[in-house]
């Protein structure tokens, strides 16, 4: 895999890392290292303030579907744009300036990262180098994120943006992994591209607590057939829709300190 499993030290002098108030990486640093992300960074900050998440720290992950039906979304830039939106959000949550990216289809196609100094066209470039697209195996992708997070040494929770355009090849395995992971400091935000009804993801979103899982550790929203057209402010509001409630529930359950 192409990612160092050791978590980078916190405390970026430019960003006010750790658990203090404000964003992990400053606007000034974004302007200097990734000026193209300034609008996304700004929009994310507005949403975080609205949801009372300013100063929150988290390790942001991005999981990307490479099943065959995703081809057009890679081609038209929708997936690349989501990656940039994830990076704009991560700059508020995490001072290391990178987002681990898990590409999955039938198996794991690749694990890489995007960073403030290397994001333009990065997802499209990585995708093109991975070759054949397969089917949709949620469980493998989720287990990869869990393994990476456990091995990273991170003390902050993980916030996972999990993008897909349809249901998994094994619904039972995906549900099992999600329920088992409910005792971990990992929140799963599923984002649906395309016109699928996403019946299974809606089911995951509503799994019973505590009968099925320790806390409600997942949310879902459909981004439609043209995800790139969703205003950034709307996208960030949807991404933060249930994260505050999970943080509260996870602290109450002793999952977070």
DSSP symbols for 179-204? HHGGGSSEEEEEEEESS---HHHHHH
Evaluate whether residue 21 is within a structural domain: no
91 neighbors 58 (Cβ within 8 angstroms): no
256 found inside a domain: no
Please report where in the chains the tokens 């990734």 appear, as a residue: 34
The CATH number given to whatever domain includes residue 175 is 3.40.50.410
Is residue 8 in a domain?
A: no
Low-confidence ranges of the chain (pLDDT < 70): 1-21
Q: What's the total number of domains in the chain?
A: 1
Q: CA dist 205 to 170, 208, 215, 233, 237, Å? A: 17, 9, 11, 23, 17
pTM value is: 0.93
Q: What is the pLDDT of residues 179-234, one digit of tens each?
A: 999 999 999 999 999 999 999 999 999 999 999 999 999 999 999 999 999 999 99
In which element (H, E) is residue 101 found?
A: strand 98-104
Question: Does a structural domain hold residue 243?
Answer: no
Assigned domain for 106 exists = yes
Three-state SS at 12: coil
Residue 23 located in a structural domain: no
> For residue 257, what pLDDT is reported?
87
Quick one: pLDDT at residue 21?
54
- Running DSSP on this structure, what letter comes out for residue 61? E
Residue 198 lies in a domain: yes
Residue 94 lies in a domain: yes
């Amino acid at each position: 895999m192409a990612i160092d499993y050791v978590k980078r030290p916190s405390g970026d002098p430019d960003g006010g890392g750790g658990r203090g108030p404000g964003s992990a990486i400053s606007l000034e640093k974004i302007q200097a290292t990734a000026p193209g992300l300034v609008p996304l960074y700004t929009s994310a900050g507005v949403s975080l303030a609205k949801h009372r998440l300013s100063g929150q720290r988290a390790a942001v992950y991005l999981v990307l579907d490479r099943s065959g039906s995703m081809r057009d979304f890679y081609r038209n830039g929708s997936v690349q744009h989501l990656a940039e939106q994830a990076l704009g959000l991560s700059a508020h949550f995490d001072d290391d300036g990178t987002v681990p990216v898990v590409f999955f289809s039938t198996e794991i196609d690749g694990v890489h990262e995007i960073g403030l100094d290397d994001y333009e066209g990065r997802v499209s470039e990585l995708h093109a180098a991975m070759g054949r697209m397969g089917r949709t195996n949620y469980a493998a992708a989720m287990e990869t994120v869990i393994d990476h997070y456990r091995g990273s040494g991170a003390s902050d929770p993980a916030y996972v943006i999990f993008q897909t355009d349809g249901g998994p090849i094994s619904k039972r395995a995906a549900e099992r992994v999600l329920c088992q992971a409910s005792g971990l400091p990992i929140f799963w935000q599923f984002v649906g591209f395309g016109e699928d009804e996403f019946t299974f993801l809606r089911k995951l979103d509503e799994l019973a607590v505590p009968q099925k899982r320790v806390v409600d550790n997942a949310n879902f929203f459909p981004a439609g057939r043209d995800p790139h057209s969703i205003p950034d402010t709307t996208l960030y509001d949807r991404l933060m829709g249930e994260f505050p409630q999970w943080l509260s529930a996870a602290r109450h359950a002793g999952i977070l300190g």
